[in-house]
Amino acid sequence: MRTPLVAALSLAMPAVLAAQTIPPPEYAARRDSLAQRMDSGVVVAFGGANPVGSERFAQLPAFRYLTGFLEPDAALVLVIRGEKPTGTLFTQPRDPRRALYDGFPPDSAAVARRTGLRARSFAALTPVLDSLASSGLPFYTIRDFTTADYAAEDSLTRGAGYMRAFAARHGGLELRDAHPVLDSLRSRKSSAELAMLRRAIDLTVAAQREVMRTIRPGMWEYEIEALFQGAFRRGGGDGAAFVSIIGSGPNSTQYHYNANDRRMAAGEVVVMDVGAAFGGYAADVTRTVPVSGRYTPDQRAVYQIVRDAQAAAERVVRPGSSFEAWREAARVVVARGVARLGLTEGVDATFDPPWADQCGKDPLRCNQAFLYMAHGLGHGIGLEVHDRPHPWYGAGTFAEGDVFSIEPGVYVSTRLLEMLPDTPKNRKMIAKVRGAVRRYQNIGVRIEDDYVVTGSGLEWVSRAPREPDEIEAEMARPRPSALLEVPRQSR
C-alpha cells in the first residue's frame, strides 16, 4: 500500500517537477530595488569562501540574494548613480587542473545570462575599488557572515578584513552598513521565493509524518536525524537547513541540543526541530512527540499549554498587527498554564534570574514564567533560517508577504532551579514549585510552524499533525517502507 505521505505529495505535484528556481531577471530587480532605496553609492559584497573542510560549498545568503551566483570566492560591486546600478561580479579564475576536480566555472557569457552581471577577474577588484574611492560616492558594505546570528563575529571574516584595509588605505574612508536596506527587501518574499519556501516546508512536513510513523522506543536520536536528512535529499532538497535538533528525555529541555546521540526510551518525549533547505530557502518546523506513541497525561498537559500559546499568537497576526501584541498573546497563555501546573507562584510572580541585568530592558524576563520559555516566539524564514523579520527585536508590525515561524515552548528541568542565585525571593519560590518541577521534569515541548501573512490574515503552511490526538494517530499508522517514492526535482 502506498503511504499517505506519498499520496499527499503525489496528488499535489507531478512525479517529476519542472525545475523551480528564482528567475534570473529577479536578481537584477532586487539590485534595482536596493539602488532605488540608496540613491547613490558603491555597494561591496563578498560571497562565501571555498570550504577547506569536508562541507559542500554553500553561497552566503545576502550575496546569493543579490546575484544568484553559486561559485565560491567572488565579490559584487554595485555602483549606484540614479536608479539603475552598474553591477560587476569579480570571480576567481580556476586553473585547468583544479577544474578537473571542482568543475569548470561559468564563462562571462553564462554569468551574464544567469545573473545579469558583467564578470571580471577577481584580480581587478582592488584597482576598481581604489579608483572608486576618489569618486566621492559613499561606500556601503554587505558583510560576509553565514547567518545574521553571528554578525557580531563578522570582524574576522575575509570581506570585513578586506574592507577595513581598504578604508585604512583611503584615509579612514567611512563604510556604511547596507544591511538595514537589504534586510527590509529580503523580509518581503516574492512569489518565486514563496514557491521555494513552500517546497522546503512541504518536504519538512512529509519528513515529519514519515518519522512519526517510524519512531519506536530504543531507537537512537541519530537515527531520527538520519531519517530527516534522507527524506530531505530524496525529495530534491539541498539537505538540512540547520543541524537537526533531536532531543529526547532530558535533552528535550535544551533548546538547541544537537548532539543527537542518546537512546530514546518509552515514556519520554522527543523534540524534533528540523527544516529542509530547498534552493537555499529554509523551513523550520518542530514537533514534540511521545516516544512510545502515546502522551502521558502530564506530557499532554504541558503540550496543550504550548499549543494554546501558539494558537493565541496565530490569532493576532494580520497585516498591521504589532509584534508586541503577538508576543504578549502567547506569553500570557504560557504564564497562566505554568502557574496552573504549580510551576510558578502565580501569573505575575517574579524571581531573581541569573540574567537579572536584562530585566531593566525587558521586565518580563524577571517573571517566573520566563524560566520555562526563555527564547523568542518566532522569526522570519528565508535564505537564512533566522531571517528577517526578527519580531522580538522591535516595535514593528506584520506585513503581507512576511514568512515566519511561531515556536512557543515549555521546558521543565530541575536544572532550572539549580541555576538560580541564592536569594530570599528565589528560596521562597523554589520551596513552592519544587514538587511540580520534579513531577514534570524532563518534559520539554516546542511546537513550531511556518506561516505566510496574507492580505487578510495568516496562512498556516507547515501542516504536519500537531494536535496531540493527530500525532498519536499518525504514529499508529504503518511504518513507511524504506524506499518511499517522493517527487523529484529535475535540475
Which residues are near Mn ion by CB under 5 A?
A: 273, 284, 405, 407, 448
- Phi, psi dihedral angles at 378 (to 5 degrees): 170, 180
Minimum CB separation of residue 200 from ligand GLY in Å reads: 13
Minimum CB separation of residue 438 from Mn ion in Å reads: 28
Largest CA distance in the chain: 72
- Picked from ligand GLY, Mn ion, none, the partner binding residue 238 (CB below 5 to 8 A depending on kind) is none
Calpha distance 255→303 (Å, rounded): 16
Our CB check for ligand GLY shows the closer of 30 and 466 to be: 466
Residue where the block lists cell 492580505:
455
- Nearest-CB residue to ligand GLY? 273
| Omega before 391 within 30 of 0, i.e. cis | no
Q: Say whether 220 sits in a helix, a strand or coil.
A: strand
Minimum CB separation of residue 284 from ligand GLY in Å reads: 5
Residue 382: alpha-carbon gap to chain centroid: 7
Angle CA(243)–CA(309)–CA(357) in degrees, nearest 5?
70
- Picked from ligand GLY, Mn ion, none, the partner binding residue 441 (CB below 5 to 8 A depending on kind) is none
CB atoms within 10 A of CB 259: 13
Q: Where do contacts with ligand GLY occur on this chain (CB under 6 A)?
A: 242, 273, 284, 385, 407, 448
Our CB check for ligand GLY shows the closer of 222 and 392 to be: 392
- Picked from Mn ion, ligand GLY, none, the partner binding residue 404 (CB below 5 to 8 A depending on kind) is none
Our CB check for ligand GLY shows the closer of 289 and 429 to be: 289
Minimum CB separation of residue 257 from ligand GLY in Å reads: 11
- Picked from Mn ion, ligand GLY, none, the partner binding residue 242 (CB below 5 to 8 A depending on kind) is ligand GLY
Minimum CB separation of residue 273 from ligand GLY in Å reads: 5
- Picked from Mn ion, ligand GLY, none, the partner binding residue 474 (CB below 5 to 8 A depending on kind) is none
- Picked from ligand GLY, Mn ion, none, the partner binding residue 210 (CB below 5 to 8 A depending on kind) is none
Minimum CB separation of residue 386 from Mn ion in Å reads: 7
| Contacts of 381 by beta carbon, 8 Å cutoff, 6+ apart | 197, 275, 281, 282, 283, 284, 387, 403, 404, 405, 450
Helix (DSSP H) and strand (DSSP E) numbers for the chain: 15, 19
Our CB check for ligand GLY shows the closer of 182 and 240 to be: 240
Q: Say whether 52 sits in a helix, a strand or coil.
A: coil
Our CB check for ligand GLY shows the closer of 313 and 437 to be: 313
Calpha distance 430→424 (Å, rounded): 10
Our CB check for Mn ion shows the closer of 293 and 391 to be: 391
Minimum CB separation of residue 373 from ligand GLY in Å reads: 13
Grid cell for residue 366: 524577571
Calpha distance 119→88 (Å, rounded): 6
Let me know: does 160 contact 144? Beta carbons within 8 Å: yes
How do 139-142 and 40-46 pair as beta strands? parallel
Minimum CB separation of residue 405 from Mn ion in Å reads: 5
Our CB check for ligand GLY shows the closer of 117 and 269 to be: 269
Grid cell for residue 237: 532538497
Our CB check for ligand GLY shows the closer of 387 and 474 to be: 387
Q: Say whether 51 sits in a helix, a strand or coil.
A: coil
